[in-house]
Structure 1
Amino acid sequence: MVDERISYKILKEIHPDVLRAQMGDTPRDAAPWVRAAALNGIKSAQVAWGQMLLDGEGIERDAEAALRWFSIAAEAGSLDGVNMVGRCHEFGWGCTLDMAEAARCYLSAAERGHAWAQFNLATLLLHSDDFAADPSRALAWYVRSARRGNVKAMTMVGRFIEHGWGRHPRPEAARRWYRKAALGGDYRGQFDHARTLYEGGFVDEAISWFSRSIETAVPDFCRLAEPGLRTAGHPALDALADRALERVRDAEVRAAAAMRAELARAEAIRRAKPRRRLALSWLRWRRS
């Protein structure tokens, strides 16, 4: 239950160490403080609260409410908010799909230097069926995003340069971009960096980077990476392919458990409603 007594004065005066202690170790503990900060007009908190609502992190998921909070932050001047409004329209989170509105939001934030909006706009220009493919323009936005430190954009610049999308391939330049992305922690960049190292004969170093990629990648990427690791015919890469499948299976088990828990919670709420109505009827009778 959110404590409505968390005022702006409390938020402003509380010591950071005390605030960290109050927020606790879980999203559910932090939720009242994030919401209070959002209600008191702190833009970063409005975006954070919207993200918690979108993910159902510590609170019940509510994509429509998430979009409202992103919009509030955007109207207050938050570029993170503008970018997230674009994401909602691109994926239909809390609204109908609207690629034109998503592109408008991304462009608005991208032109003001928001690295993730630049990345998202580039991806939209490269992959969306709603727009004519424009690789040159997509690359320009990926480069701008990469220069602002976005490691995922660095990986995409590497892929453009390696495969020569729209221009001549430059493998050596691509390797430099992959290495920067890998050092920055992007699992796709780590995988591509490892791949180019392996192709160049630097097997031990490549195996180390392949391992780092698989351990940090999302399960969908692990599923895609497994066949490529397997076809190399190297025992260490076969073991990494097994590890990739293990991570996929672990994620599936966790997802199934989460679904069962959600169904159980919904059933408990359904069963509790008749008892609540009965209790309210009894209270009304006592008051009459």
Structure 2
Amino acid sequence: MRDGWISFTELTQIGPELLRARISENPAAAARWVEAAALAGIVNAQIAWGQMLLDGHGVARDPEAGLRWFQIAAGAGSAEGANMVGRCHECGWGVPADPARAAAHYRQAAERGHGWAQFNLATLLLDGKGIAADGREALHWYARAARGRNAEAAAKSATLVGRYLELGWERPARPVAALRWYKRGAAGGDYRGQFDYARLLLERTGRLDLAMPWFGRCIENGVPAFCRNVGAALREAPQPALRRLALRALQRAALSGTAGDLRTLGGALAEGLGGAPDAEGAARAFQRAREAEAAHAAAGPTGKAQAPSPDGAAAAGGHA
């Protein structure tokens, strides 16, 4: 990295993804340059500066100021800016949470083709959060996002389309079509899609050899809360290979550091889930659970000693 971090000319031309990557190299060095570009009216820099303020990334955390920069970018016609204004209103970043206002901003960005905004709007419609529940319109936006250019939003949306088709939401169930959509989500890297594809593939074909790699991927890619659910789903499976994966999922879940996840892992190790009992491993897990309980008690009712969310407090795109 040069002493000047990046030239002003480059800063006016760089795309948002590359800009975020460059900022991550040295956030403190980037801060003054990104702020200057934001003040000069460069929309990508305004969004990047807003995100840095929101996260406290290379600069003192200031969610209210971050929101103002997202609003400026949105006012300049940026769909990404409008989506981020929506995220702030939905999550209460720099402003009281207001899902109805979030939905309005998501819709603006979604209508301009922004994949994350389409996903976020669909999720509010599906949940009836801040907006009247409308499963049919939610499916419309999930389908549009699934066919869009944002790979992560497309993968997550494809999984939701698959769920509609498998469960018969808004239309008759079509499990074969659901399997195709789950495969799209899985191939795109969505860990929920990887689990659903593996589960339905095994159910419909009986091919454990085909399903196993996808079960493994979802565990390695998933956050602890998701792995907790995978462990619960697989631990009663009749196949020993799936029970071994259940243990791996519970080990990943225990990365949360919470007493409950550690105790569940300790019990699984003690009973020999997927193999021989591991008394030493169980004892270590139970000891860590006691330590986690003691730390939580010492923190008091505020819970300030708790670890941050594994999903990240200020994820830019949408729901994890």
Q: Same fold (TM over 0.5)?
A: yes
State the match for 2:101 in structure 1. Answer: 101
Cα–Cα, structure 1 residues 23 and 176, in superposed 2: closer, same or farther, change >3 Å? closer
For the 8 Å contact 2:162–2:178, the answer to whether it is kept is yes
CA distance in 1, matches of 2:115, 2:6: 33
Question: Cα deviation per residue 1:2-37 (whole Å; 9 max; x = unaligned)?
Answer: x999874574599xxxx9998573444444443333
1:198-237 paired onto structure 2 within 5 Å: 198-199=202-203, 200-237=205-242
TM-superposed deviation, 1:152: 0.7
Question: Cα deviation per residue 1:124-152 (whole Å; 9 max; x = unaligned)?
Answer: 00113433321111111111111114111
Q: Given the alignment of the two structures, is residue 179 of structure 1 paired with residue 173 of structure 2, yes or no?
A: no
TM-superposed deviation, 1:38: 2.5
Question: Cα deviation per residue 1:155-212 (whole Å; 9 max; x = unaligned)?
Answer: 0000001100111000000000011111111111111111112212110221101111
State the match for 1:136 in structure 2. Answer: 136
State the match for 1:160 in structure 2. Answer: 164
Cα–Cα, structure 1 residues 245 and 34, in superposed 2: closer, same or farther, change >3 Å? farther
CA distance in 2, matches of 1:4, 1:217: 38
For the 8 Å contact 1:8–1:40, the answer to whether it is kept is no
1:71-82 paired onto structure 2 within 5 Å: 71-82=71-82
State the match for 2:249 in structure 1. Answer: 244
For the 8 Å contact 2:165–2:177, the answer to whether it is kept is yes
User: Any stretches of 5+ residues in structure 1 without a counterpart?
Assistant: 263-288
Partner amino acid, structure 2, of 1:62: D
Provide the TM-score with structure 1 as the length reference: 0.77
For the 8 Å contact 1:6–1:36, the answer to whether it is kept is no
Partner amino acid, structure 2, of 1:223: R
For the 8 Å contact 2:98–2:130, the answer to whether it is kept is no
Choose between structure 1 and 2 for higher RCO, CA contacts under 8 A separated by at least 6 residues. Answer: 2
1:1-288 paired onto structure 2 within 5 Å: 8-9=8-9, 11=11, 25-149=25-149, 150-199=154-203, 200-252=205-257
What RMSD, in angstroms, separates the aligned Cα atoms of the two structures? 3.1
Identity of aligned residues (%): 58
Partner amino acid, structure 2, of 1:117: A
Cα–Cα, structure 1 residues 60 and 158, in superposed 2: closer, same or farther, change >3 Å? same
TM-superposed deviation, 1:261: 11
State the match for 2:284 in structure 1. Answer: none
Cα–Cα, structure 1 residues 178 and 99, in superposed 2: closer, same or farther, change >3 Å? same
Cα–Cα, structure 1 residues 5 and 36, in superposed 2: closer, same or farther, change >3 Å? farther
Cα–Cα, structure 1 residues 21 and 116, in superposed 2: closer, same or farther, change >3 Å? closer
For the 8 Å contact 1:143–1:157, the answer to whether it is kept is yes
CA distance in 2, matches of 1:153, 1:105: 19
CA distance in 1, matches of 2:125, 2:23: 40
TM-superposed deviation, 1:47: 1.4
- Report the secondary structure of 2:206's partner residue: coil
Cα–Cα, structure 1 residues 208 and 5, in superposed 2: closer, same or farther, change >3 Å? closer
- Report the secondary structure of 2:25's partner residue: coil
Aligned residues: 253
- Report the secondary structure of 2:59's partner residue: coil
CA distance in 2, matches of 1:162, 1:147: 19
CA distance in 2, matches of 1:13, 1:155: 35
For the 8 Å contact 1:116–1:145, the answer to whether it is kept is yes
- Report the secondary structure of 1:207's partner residue: helix
